[in-house]
């Protein structure tokens, strides 16, 4: 691995032959069956990596709470981020995104309000109010909804009852030289035997960042604040009431890869729950939650130079969701059974007002008041057949109703589509995951699932949504068929006190793949657009890949971690699927002493040449390699702890972009980072 890092320094890139050589030592070793979930440590965020539900694993992140949510997600194997600016990157799982995956906060369904995907759900939660991230791959965990590609669930930090300290908290400040970025954060915890309260907040602000060689990336600035309140009350033994509220507001957010910026992006997220939890008896857990979230978002072009704005326009949008879920878990002899029923109603509204230089204002709805109602049931059972073999099986069924809830919206779409616009659909998903313990330290497993998902409200009812990637205006299709997939995976893991090595290969065989198909004869709405496309079904598509990772404990204080992923996708005509990241390897050598931590990380991405420019607008991306350094030290100060963290991102000031970066806007050059946090 040291050879690989030296090669980055000398060449700033790595050839495919070496990447394949890197994988060879990992092939043939396999995947473990660790069932427990460890306690959350004070300064850590836990990633629960549920590649199969028999195998709930965790990836612990560095103790620096001032790391962004985007950075945490980007460090998870199999996850890549779509970048449109320096803020609110959109997460993908194995090349699947948007309606193909679920993204929830504490089990609550949420949907962005922006037609240009400037506000993914992950942008509305920060590490200061985040306890853990559950990542599911494929259709092996559908507790949060039907999907083809799995999803993310961001767990909100839980208040503690009967903690050692009645009052505790933290406060911190951070600075980054690239972009002159500043952030401050604080949290206060109150704990008694019956009541726990957590209050936290963070403020972030950044000017335009600079790529390598000090090239300024204009319109990459942002400013935001986020606050959270959680309260937990013990009614009686094993019974609790809990209230959670998060408010997130961003302002003056630039998007250099897009034609417009964001004036503001605001979210209000609230929930109330009753929880029963017991470690004895068959019934172990029952939780019932009601929730509401509201997102208000407005695109803006007033800060762009006039020569870049052929016609000024305003594009506000809103998304509001009411929902509930109730779940229960039983631990019976040889069986762990989970049942969950959930439902929600989501309403989307997006509009556009155009202001011609010599003409009257023009107004239209781009998401014409679309809504979806859903009710679903999820059941799973982990059956321990014997001490060597266990079987996880389950299924989910959803009933959905999609429609237009305003006369204005119906009037806009009635001129384009004949007949009723409302659509009802039944979605069903099933999965089967056997796990076999070959020997003490070696297990193998398989995942088999039949999955389906309905087109999103944008895919069904969108009205001239501009796609910056291929330069086309998109219109919806109420008659679009459900996208379905047969998912299959085979993996193994070897683990002992010193080493953990994991390998998995997988494929998604999709039918009725949803993509844009060109509509000749349609007039564009966006000035300079290449044409008009309609969301339609392609007969089939295939997505396959391999993921390999290794964790090596060189000594009690020194460790080496390597994660590697590769995806390959093609449609029914053999052309490349869009937004598929190339081979990527991340290798980290770390030292963690009692008070001092050091780390060096090398990230290498191969070139992506498997693209379909004509059909999806993608272009090739060159290979790159970067190195990041970090260091941390804790100081004990009587009743408090001062944690100092410093680092250098992109040490060599490499000029690079990742394949999922829209319009190939270069990423940040060399960046010095300093964080100071006090815990009391």
What does the DSSP assignment read for 445-477? Answer: EEEEEEEEEPPPHHHHH--SEEETTTTEEEE--
Q: What is the pLDDT of residue 65?
A: 62
Predicted pLDDT of residue 306: 87
Mean pLDDT throughout 132-153? 87
Question: What region does 305 belong to: left with phi over 0, alpha with psi -120 to 50, or beta?
Answer: beta
Task: List, in order, residues 6 or more apart from 597 with CB less than 8 Å away.
Answer: 62, 63, 590, 591, 630, 631, 632, 633
Q: In the prediction, which pLDDT does 405 show?
A: 96
Radius of gyration of the chain (CA): 25
Helices assigned H by DSSP within 546-663: 613-616
Beta-strand pair 442-453/483-495: antiparallel
Pairing of strands 130-137, 46-52: parallel
Residue 470 has pLDDT above 80, yes or no: yes
To the nearest 10°, the Cα dihedral for 209, 215, 218, 222?
0
* Confidence check: pLDDT of 10 > 90: no
pLDDT at 47: 52
- pLDDT of 301-311, one tens digit each? 999 998 888 89
Provide the mean pLDDT of the chain: 89
Q: For the chain, what percent of residues have pLDDT higher than 70?
A: 90
pLDDT at 594: 87
pLDDT tens digits, 146-174: 899 999 999 999 999 999 999 999 999 99
Q: Give residue-wise pLDDT tens across range 320-341.
A: 999 999 999 999 999 999 999 9
Rounded Cα–Cα distance for residues 678 and 328 (Å): 39
Contact by Cβ (8 Å): 183, 202: yes
Reported as a single tens digit per residue, the pLDDT across 250-297 is 999 999 999 999 999 999 999 999 999 998 889 999 999 999 999 999
* pLDDT value of residue 501: 96
Torsion of CA 87, 92, 96, 101, to 10 degrees: -90
Establish how many alpha carbons lie within 13 A of residue 627's alpha carbon, considering only the half-sphere containing its beta carbon. Answer: 18
**In which band, very low, low, confident or very high, does the pLDDT at 14 lie, cut at 50, 70 and 90?**
very low
Predicted structure pTM score:
0.89
Of 535, 531, 366, 369, residue with least CA distance to 464: 366
Give the DSSP H/E element, type plus range, for residue 18.
helix 16-23
Other residues' Cβ atoms within 10 Å of the Cβ of residue 140: 26
Q: What angle is formed at CA 336 by the lines to CA 77 and CA 54, rounded to 5 degrees? A: 20
Provide the b/e sequence for 634-664 (b: ≥16 CB within 10 Å). beeeeeebebebebbbbbebbbbbbbbbbee
What whole-number distance in Å separates Cα of residue 368 and Cα of residue 475? 11
* Rounded alpha-carbon distances, angstroms, from residue 630 to 247, 424, 468, 598, 635: 31, 52, 36, 6, 17
Eight-class DSSP state of 159:
P
Q: What angle do CA 125, 131, 133 make, to 5 degrees?
A: 75
Please check the confidence at residue 479 and state whether its pLDDT lies above 70. yes
**64: confidence class by pLDDT, cuts 50, 70, 90:** low
Give per-residue pLDDT as tens, 383-410: 999 999 999 999 999 999 999 999 999 9
Give the pair of three-digit tokens for residue 470.
């291929």
**Strand 483-495 and strand 472-475: pairing?**
unpaired
SS3 for 32-93 is: CCCCCCCCCCCCCCEEEEEEECCEEEEEECCCCCCCCHHHHHHCCCCEEEEECCCCCCEEEE
Of the pLDDT bands very low, low, confident and very high (cuts 50, 70, 90), residue 140 is confident
Q: What is the pLDDT of residue 310?
A: 87
- Quick one: tokens of 349? 């509204």
Contact present, 421 and 410 (Cβ < 8 Å):
yes
Residue pointed to by tokens 């290798």: 587
Torsion of CA 524, 525, 526, 529, to 10 degrees: -10
Is pLDDT of 61 > 70?
A: no
Distance CA 147, CA 192 (A): 41
Among 444, 441, 549, CA closest to 497: 441
Is residue 413 scored above 60 in pLDDT? yes
Residue count of the chain: 680
What pLDDT was estimated at residue 6?
A: 39
What is the per-residue pLDDT across 497-532, written as a single tens digit (0 to 9) for each? 999 999 999 999 999 999 999 999 899 988 889 999
pLDDT reported for residue 211: 97
CA–CA gap between residue 492 and residue 503 (Å, rounded)? 6
Query: Which of 50-59, 61-70, 572-581 has the least mean pLDDT?
Result: 50-59
């Amino acid at each position: 691995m040291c050879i690989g890092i030296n090669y980055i320094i000398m060449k700033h890139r790595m050839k495919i032959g070496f990447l394949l050589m890197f994988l060879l030592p990992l092939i043939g070793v396999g995947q473990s069956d660790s069932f427990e979930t460890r306690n959350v440590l004070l300064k850590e965020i836990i990633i629960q990596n549920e590649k199969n539900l028999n195998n709930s694993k965790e990836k612990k992140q560095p103790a620096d709470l001032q790391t962004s949510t985007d950075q945490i997600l980007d460090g998870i194997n199999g996850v890549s981020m779509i970048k449109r600016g320096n803020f609110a990157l959109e997460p993908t799982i194995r090349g699947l995104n948007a309606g193909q995956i679920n993204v929830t906060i504490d089990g609550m369904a949420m949907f962005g309000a922006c037609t240009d995907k400037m506000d993914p759900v992950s942008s509305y939660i920060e590490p200061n109010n985040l306890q853990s991230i559950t990542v599911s791959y494929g259709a092996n965990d559908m507790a949060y909804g039907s999907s083809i590609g799995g999803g993310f669930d961001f767990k909100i930090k839980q208040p503690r009852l009967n903690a050692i300290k009645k009052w505790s908290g933290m406060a911190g400040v951070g600075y980054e030289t690239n972009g002159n970025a500043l952030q401050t954060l604080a949290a206060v915890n109150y704990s008694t035997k019956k009541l726990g309260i957590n209050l936290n907040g963070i403020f972030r602000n950044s000017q335009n960042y600079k790529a390598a060689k000090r090239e300024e990336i204009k319109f990459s600035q942002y400013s935001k604040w986020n606050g959270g309140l959680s309260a937990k009350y013990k009614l009686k033994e094993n019974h609790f009431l809990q209230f959670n509220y998060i408010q997130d507001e961003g302002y003056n957010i630039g998007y250099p890869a897009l034609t417009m910026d964001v004036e503001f992006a605001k979210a209000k997220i609230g929930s109330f729950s009753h929880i029963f939890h017991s470690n004895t008896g068959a019934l172990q857990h029952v939780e019932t939650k009601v929730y509401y979230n509201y997102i208000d978002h407005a695109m803006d072009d007033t800060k762009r130079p006039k020569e870049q704005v052929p016609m000024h326009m305003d594009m506000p949008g809103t998304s509001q969701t009411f929902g509930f879920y109730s779940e229960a878990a039983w631990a019976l002899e040889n069986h762990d059974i989970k049942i969950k029923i959930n439902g929600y109603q989501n309403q989307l509204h997006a509009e556009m007002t155009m202001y011609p230089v010599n003409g009257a204002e023009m107004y239209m709805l781009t998401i014409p008041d679309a809504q979806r109602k859903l009710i679903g049931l999820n059941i799973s059972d982990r059956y321990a057949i014997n001490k060597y073999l266990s079987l996880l099986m389950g299924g989910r069924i959803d009933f959905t109703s999609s429609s237009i809830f305003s006369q204005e919206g119906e009037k806009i779409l009635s001129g384009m589509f004949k007949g009723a616009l409302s659509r009802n659909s039944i979605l069903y998903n099933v999965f089967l995951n056997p796990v076999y313990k070959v020997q003490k330290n070696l297990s193998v497993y398989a995942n088999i699932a039949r999955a389906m998902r309905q087109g999103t409200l944008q895919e069904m009812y969108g009205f001239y949504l501009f796609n910056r990637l291929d330069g086309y205006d998109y219109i919806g299709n109420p008659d679009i068929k459900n996208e379905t997939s047969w998912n299959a995976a085979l993996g193994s893991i070897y683990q002992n006190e010193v080493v953990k090595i994991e390998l998995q290969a997988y494929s998604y065989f999709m039918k009725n793949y949803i993509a844009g198909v060109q509509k000749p004869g349609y007039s564009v709405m966006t000035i300079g657009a290449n044409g008009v496309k309609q969301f339609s079904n392609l007969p089939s598509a295939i997505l396959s890949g391999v993921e390999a990772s290794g964790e090596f404990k060189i000594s009690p204080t020194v460790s080496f971690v390597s994660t590697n992923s590769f995806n390959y996708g093609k449609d029914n005509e053999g052309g490349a699927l869009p937004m598929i990241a190339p081979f990527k390897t991340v290798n980290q050598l770390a030292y963690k002493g009692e008070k001092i931590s050091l780390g060096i990380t090398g990230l290498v991405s191969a070139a992506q040449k498997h693209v379909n420019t004509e059909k999806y607008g993608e272009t090739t991306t060159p290979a790159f390699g970067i190195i990041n350094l970090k260091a941390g030290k804790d100081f004990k100060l009587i009743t408090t702890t001062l944690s100092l963290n410093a680092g250098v991102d992109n040490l060599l000031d490499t000029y690079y972009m990742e394949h999922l970066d829209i319009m190939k806007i270069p990423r940040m050059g060399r960046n010095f980072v300093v964080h100071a946090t006090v815990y009391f």
